Structure 1
Amino acid sequence: MAGLEVINEKVREASAFIPSLKAEIGKVIVGQDYLIDRLIIGMLSNGHVLLEGVPGLAKTLTVNTLASAMETSFQRIQFTPDLLPADLIGTLIYNPKDGDFFTKKGPVFSNIILADEINRAPAKVQSALLEAMQEHQVTIGDETFHLPEPFLVMATENPIEQEGTYPLPEAQVDRFMLKLNIDYPSRDEERKILARMAHTSTNIEVSPVITPATILEARKAVDEIYVDDKIKEYILDIVFATREPEKYNLDIADYLRYGASPRATLALTNGARAHAFLQGRGYVTPQDVKSIAPDILRHRIIVSYEAEADELTSDDIIEKLLSEIPVP
C-alpha cells in the first residue's frame, strides 16, 4: 500500500500543470471538454488522434490553441488530392553551386501536426504520414531523421463530404490511438461562443504554460500508474469479446466483421492510465477503462453489412459490450 501512496504522490505532482493548461485553452475554446481531455490523453500516452466532425466545430482552433499553450512547434497541413509525400516529409534539393544535394525538411518536423482532411490525400501521402507516426522518424534520400519529441499527429476527417476523398484503410486507421466524434456545442456554449467570437478581430493571447520537457516527465509518471491484474483481465475481456463474442454470451457475432487488434489492448491500458493521471490518481479503476474504451475501439471494430442494415454502429456494439461484460 505504501508503494501506491508513493505513485499517488508522484502523479499528483506531475499532473499539477493540467488545471492551468485547461484554463489557458479555455480562454479561446468554449466547452469541448471531452475533446480537450482526449487530446491531452493522446499527448500523455504518446498516441495519435483522429477527429471526425462537421466543419466549424473548432477542431483546428482547439489543436492550435493546445500547441500554443504548450510551447511546442505546430504545423497545420491541408491535405489535398495533389499533395505529394515530399510536400509532407521533405526532399533532397540540388545545389548547382557545389554540385551537391541538401536536405529540405518538410512540415512533419514539428511537435504537433494537424493533418486537416487526411482522407482527401492519396494513399502514398497517407502512408508517408502514417510511417512517420509509427516510427517517429522519416527517411529522405539515404538519411534517416528522427522527429522531435513529443510528436503528436491529430488528423481530421469530414463525415459528410465524401466526394473526392480516399477513405483510410482499416490498417492505417488502426495506427490512431483514439478516434473522437465531435458534436455540436450546447445552446449555452454557443451563446458564450457568440459573446466571445462575434467580432471582426478576435485575437486572444494564449500563453505557454508548459514545455515539451513537462510532457515527457508526465509520461514517465503515467507509465508508473498501477494497473491491477483484475483490470488487465477486464481489458482483455473487452478486446476478446470483439473477436469471440459467443464466448462471452454476447449475441453480436453477426454484426462484427473484424474485432479489435492487439493495438487496442495496449491503447486501452495506456489510455486508462492517462485518464487516471488527469484525475490525479496513481491507479486505474474500471471506470477509467469504460470512459476511454469507445474512443479506442470505435475505429477498430469493423461492423458487418447486417449491422449497417439494422442501422447499428460500432458505438452501439461497444455500448453493449461495456454494459454486459462483468466489471471487476
Structure 2
Amino acid sequence: MKHIESFKKYGIFMVLVALMTYFSFASSSFLSTNNLFTIARQVSMLGIAAVGMAFVLLIGGIDLSIGSQVTLVNIVAAWLMVNAGIHPVLAVLLALAMSTSIGFFNGWIISTIKMPPIIVTLSMMIILEGVAYLVCKGLPIFGFPSSFSVIGQGYVGIIPIPVIIMVVIMGLGAFILNRTYFGRYFYAVGGNEEAAALSGINVVRVKYLVYSLSGLFAGIAGIVMLSRTNSGQVLVGKGFEFEVLTACVLGGVSVNGGQGKISNVFAGVLMIGVLSNGLVLLNVSQFTQMVIKGSVLLLAVAFDSIQKQQRNKKIKEKKTGAETSSDG
C-alpha cells in the first residue's frame, strides 16, 4: 500500500525522469543547454495557462475556450499596437482586461444560468475563434515596436523572461491554493458543491473568480506567445486548450474536482514539453505526435477515473462497516 501511495504522489516525477532518460539516449542533442532552454521557453506559455485551468478543474469545471482566448488576445493586442497605434503597455492591459472579462462571462453563464461548463466554454471557443478571424480578416498582423519582443524573447542573465513569468504565475497559483481561504474554497466547491454552499461559501462568486483567473492567465500566455513570435496569427492557439488540459490531468488534477497541486501541474507541463521536444528530435511525424498526445490524455483521465472509483468504494465500505458496528 505504501508503494502505491508513493507512486500516486511522486509518479509524475518518476515518469518525467524516465522520459528524459530515454530521450537523452535516443538523441545526443536532447540534453544540450540550448535544447533545454528551448524546452523551457516552449512550455512557459503552457505553464502559465495551466494554472488557470487547474483552478477550473479543482472546482469541478472545465474551460475549453483557453486556446481561443490566447488567439484573440494575440490578434487584439497586435491590432491595437499596429493598426490603432496604441502604446504596447496599454495594448497589453486592454487585451488582458478583455480576456479576464471573457473568463468572468464564462463563469457568469455557468453559475447563473446553470449551463454545463463544457457546453459554455466549447461555444465560447468557437465564438472567439470567429471574432479573431473577423478582426484580422484571417491575415497575420506584424510590425510591433522592438521593445515589445523583450517579453517573449528577452533574458534576465541566462534565464528567459517567459520562464520567469511562468515560475512567478505558478508560485502565485500555489500561494493561492495553499495559503489563502480562496484556495480552500476551490477545493471545497470541487469536493462537494452542495456541502460547500451549506457551509457558507458563496459558490457563485467562487466560480466568477476562478473563471476570471483562467481568462487572465490565458491572456498572459497569449501576450507572451505574441511577443515570442512577433506576429498575431489566428491559428496560434489552435489545440492549445487540450495541451493545457493534458498537462493538468497528468499533474494529478482530477477532472472530477477537489484534488490537485500546482507543483504536480508543473511536472505535467514539463512532461508535455519533454515529450513534444523529444518526438521532434526523433523526427516523429506531426500526426503520430497527435496520436501519442491524445493517448496520453486518455490514459491520464482513465487513471483519474479509476482512482475515483476506488475512493468511492472505500468510502462505501467504511460507511457499511460503521453502520454494521452501530447495529451490533
* Pairwise same-fold verdict (TM > 0.5): no
Q: Which has the higher contact order (CA 8 A, sep 6+)?
A: 2
Question: Would you tell me which structure has more strand in proportion to its own residues?
Answer: 1
Question: Would you tell me which structure has more helix in proportion to its own residues?
Answer: 2
Q: TM-score, normalised by structure 1?
A: 0.27
Q: TM-score, normalised by structure 2?
A: 0.27
